[in-house]
Chain A
Amino acid sequence: KNQVEQSPQSLIILEGKNCTLQCNYTVSPFSNLRWYKQDTGRGPVSLTIMTFSENTKSNGRYTATLDADTKQSSLHITASQLSDSASYICVVIPTNSGYSTLTFGKGTMLLVSP
Chain B
Amino acid sequence: DAGITQSPRHKVTETGTPVTLRCHQTENHRYMYWYRQDPGHGLRLIHYSYGVKDTDKGEVSDGYSVSRSKTEDFLLTLESATSSQTSVYFCAISEWDRTGINSPLHFGNGTRLTVT
Write the residues of chain A forming the contact surface with B, with a CB cutoff of 8 angstroms: 4, 31-32, 41-46, 49, 51, 89, 93, 96-100, 102-107
Contact = CB atoms under 8 A, between A and B. Distances in A.
Contacts, number: 59
Contacts of B98: 96, 98
Interface in B61-93: 90, 92
A102 B107 contact: no
A107 B97 CA distance: 23
Interface in B29-84: 31, 33, 40-45, 48, 56, 58
B109 interface: yes
Nearest to B94: A99
B45 A46 contact: no
A99 B33 contact: yes
B19 interface: no
Contacts of A93: 99
B47 to A, nearest CB: 9
Contacts of A96: 98
A96 B98 CA distance: 7
B104 A41 contact: no
Contacts of B40: 106
Contact of B105 (A41, A99, A105, A106): A99
A93 B43 CA distance: 14
Contacts of A106: 40-42
Given A98-B99, A99-B48, A99-B97, A49 B104 contact: yes
A100 B41 contact: no
Nearest to B108: A43
A41 B109 CA distance: 7
A102 to B, nearest CB: 7
Q: Which 4 A-B pairs have the closest CB atoms?
A: A43-B107, A104-B42, A98-B97, A93-B99
A102 B40 CA distance: 17
A46 B104 contact: yes
B107 A45 contact: yes
